[in-house]
Amino acid sequence: MTTIRRFCCNDLLRFASVNFDHLTETFNMSFYMTYLARWPDYFHVAEAPGNRVMGYIMGKVEGQGESWHGHVTAVTVAPEYRRQQLAKKLMNLLEDISDKIDKGYFVDLFVRASNTPAIKMYEKLGYVIYRRVLRYYSGEEDGLDMRKALSRDVEKKSIVPLKRPITPDELEYD
């Protein structure tokens, strides 16, 4: 049975094996600690029996006005636990927090343009490609900014795709 719970400091010492996937973005410890301290509601871990880390999701809430939104910084599932809809459960949890608690207009995430399986999964979850960000990853690979409107965005304005790609320096950071 899978347990999904809030991430805690001890998990930082136990989740390295989940990050081995070459498509998973990894960060330094202070980055993870900042998310854990600032946005604890957006940081969850999935555990298998025996307390083995199966996957995690890390995000935040940011923006202002109609750009107020939840952001998925990372979601990853260890290879041996994939195809069990674990990423879907983690994404739904972050979406619910963004929608019901923080009253965001949308949830967004960035994904490598070459990561077709992830893009298809996000599309199945209701995300659309909002815009392409040229050379987003390490200044080489394009990223796709994908969004899903939440209940506050009644007219779905937040997910109307941009007509042209942008560069990383055009991104709005909060």
Q: Where are the domains of the chain?
A: 3-170
Q: Please state, in angstroms and rounded to a whole number, the distance separating the CA atoms of residues 36 and 29.
A: 10
pLDDT bin (cut points 50, 70, 90) of residue 23 is: low
Question: pLDDT tens, 27-72?
Answer: 788 999 999 999 999 999 999 988 889 999 999 999 999 999 999 9
Question: pLDDT tens, 62-110?
Answer: 999 999 999 999 999 988 898 899 999 999 999 999 999 999 999 999 9
| Mean per-residue pLDDT of the chain | 92
Q: Please state, in angstroms and rounded to a whole number, the distance separating the CA atoms of residues 108 and 73.
A: 9
Q: Please state, in angstroms and rounded to a whole number, the distance separating the CA atoms of residues 162 and 134.
A: 13
Give the global pTM. Answer: 0.91
For domain 3-170, the CATH superfamily is: Gcn5-related N-acetyltransferase (GNAT) (3.40.630.30)
Could you tell me what percent of the chain has a pLDDT over 70?
97
DSSP string, 96-137: HIIIIIS--SEEEEEEETT-HHHHHHHHHTT-EEEEEEEEEE
What residues does 119 pair with on adjacent strands?
none
Section 128-139 average pLDDT: 92
pLDDT of residue 1: 79
